[in-house]
Structures are given as C-alpha cells and as structure tokens.
Amino acid sequence: MKCILKATGLKKYYGEGETQVRALDGIDLEIEQGRFTAIIGTSGSGKSTLLNMLGGLDTPTEGSIRIGNTELAGLNSEQATVFRRKQIGFIFQNYNLIPVLTVWENIVFPISLDGREPDQKFIMQIVEMLGLESKLDSLPNNLSGGQQQRVAIARALASKPSIILADEPTGNLDSKTSDDVIGLLKMTGSEFCQTIVMITHNPEIAQMADRVVRIEDGKIAV
C-alpha cells in the first residue's frame, strides 16, 4: 500500500543540559494510506509531541516529515498553515469548538478561513452520518460531550483531508459514546478513504485499529 506519511529520524528535545527532555528521540515511521493507526504508550512517552510534529503543528529538533510528496520543512509558516488546513483534519480531546459559532458554522469554519466554498452536499452527508442534522443551529455548549466530539469530527472531515490526526478524541467520553464515536470515525474514514492516526489510552479502541504503534521514552517500541 502507498505510504502517505513518513517520519525519518524525528527528534524533539526541550531545554538543554541536565534538565533536557528528549520527548522524541529518533522516530522512523511510515503510515500507509487509508489505514487506521493507533498510537499508544504511557503518559509522557511522547505521543502528543509525535502527533503534533506529524501534523506540522510543531517543528522537530531534527529529522524530517513527508506528507504525500510534500516535505514539511520545505514550507514557510503561511504555506504550512494552508497545507495543514487542506490536507489534515485534527481532532482533540477537548473538541476545540468555537463557543459563539453554531454547529454548522463550526463545521465550515476552517473551509471559510481558506476562502473556499464549503461542499454543502458532501458536508450534509457527513452531518447525517454523524446524526447531527437537528443540531446544526445549536451552540456547542448546548450539546453533550459526545455530540460536541461528533461536531469536531464533522469539522475535521468537512474539508476532505487525506489524513485525520486525533489526540485522545474519546478521552472525555463514556465508553458507550466513545465506541460510537470511534465507529463513526472508522466508517467515515473508510467511506472517504482517509488515513487515521489516533492516540489512545484505551486498549479496546487500539484493538479496532489496523495497526498499533507503541511509543516508549520517545522511541518506537519493538
């Protein structure tokens, strides 16, 4: 299968000298297109740092990241922002919805930022899959945690990114809601042929992935 995301010799060090933290200490990782990869590891092992690097939200101390044919280090910050918005959908544990915007406005917000027209038909398909049709005019604070996370998923999918990066997306949800959300994410992922990379502490969710990568002390455990 085609490799869509490749990290080579990835290192991220914070600080210097005795207090230096080696959050990532030499990661080589290839992610295949269309697959669901779970990233697991103990707290502080480097999972979020890795995901942030893979999505270009932070820059490595050393090493390179290639997404498709694009080398992230070759982009200036403006190009990187545009690239991220088009190619990557992010989902975070805390949903990161904008409280003063309605559900619909939240979903289309990243697309409007790019000055693009939202594909209304496509987005309504996602909205229906996620069971959000009746909530489009609501404000996020009036929704349950599971509903808010579904809005965040819809927002991540709406710009048709090739990669979804999710950092503990179900960390704040009960187990039933969490299973539903992961099920929906897997379904939309396979429907739209998206590559999913997800950090999880939950072994049951990791079991649903095509591949599990364990991080230990900033390295991939073998």
Ligand X SMILES: Nc1ncnc2c1ncn2[C@@H]1O[C@H](COP(=O)(O)OP(=O)(O)OP(=O)(O)O)[C@@H](O)[C@H]1O
| DSSP for 44-65, written as a single string | TSSHHHHHHHHTTSS--SEEEE
Q: How far is the CB of 45 from ligand X (least distance, A)?
A: 4
Q: How far apart are CA 96 and CA 179, in angstroms?
A: 20
Q: How far is the CB of 139 from ligand X (least distance, A)?
A: 28
Q: With contact defined as beta carbons under 8 Å apart, do 132 and 151 qualify? A: yes
Q: How far apart are CA 80 and CA 91, in angstroms?
A: 18
Alpha helices by DSSP H, listed for 96-222, are 103-113, 120-129, 145-158, 175-191, 203-207
Q: How far is the CB of 166 from ligand X (least distance, A)?
A: 13
| Contact set with ligand X (CB under 6 A) | 14, 21, 23, 41, 43-49
Q: How far is the CB of 219 from ligand X (least distance, A)?
A: 12
Alpha carbons within 13 A on the beta-carbon side of 62: 10
Q: How far is the CB of 43 from ligand X (least distance, A)?
A: 3
- In the DSSP assignment, the letter for residue 209 is S
Residue nearer to ligand X on the CB measure, 39 or 103: 39
3-state secondary structure of 213: strand
